[in-house]
């Protein structure tokens, strides 16, 4: 039995989603995310996201 997608992906669920409103919503969310990244860019570039990994010694050492 195939699983039907619900929500934005399947355009069905609690609300009825038409493809145009879904596309507009997703485009708006991407714009918001891009604006957030633009605001946070200096902070994100200032510090490494992950600590550096220790380097393993050469074989046997």
Kindly report the average pLDDT of the chain as a whole number.
78
pTM of the predicted model over 0.85: no
Region 31-58: what's the mean pLDDT? 81
Tell me the Ramachandran region of residue 25: left when phi exceeds 0, alpha when psi lies from -120 to 50, beta otherwise.
Answer: alpha
Buried b / exposed e over 14-43, threshold 16 CB at 10 Å, is: eeebeeeeeeeeeeeeeeeeeeeeeeeeee
Region 53-57: what's the mean pLDDT? 77
SS3 of residue 12 by DSSP: strand
Of 21, 31, 29, the residue nearest 7 (C-alpha): 21
């Amino acid at each position: 039995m195939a699983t039907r997608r619900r929500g934005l992906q399947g355009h069905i669920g609690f609300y009825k989603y038409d493809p145009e409103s879904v596309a507009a919503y997703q485009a708006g969310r991407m714009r918001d995310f891009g604006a957030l990244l633009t605001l946070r860019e200096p902070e994100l570039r200032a510090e490494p996201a992950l600590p550096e990994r220790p380097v393993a010694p050469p074989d046997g050492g």
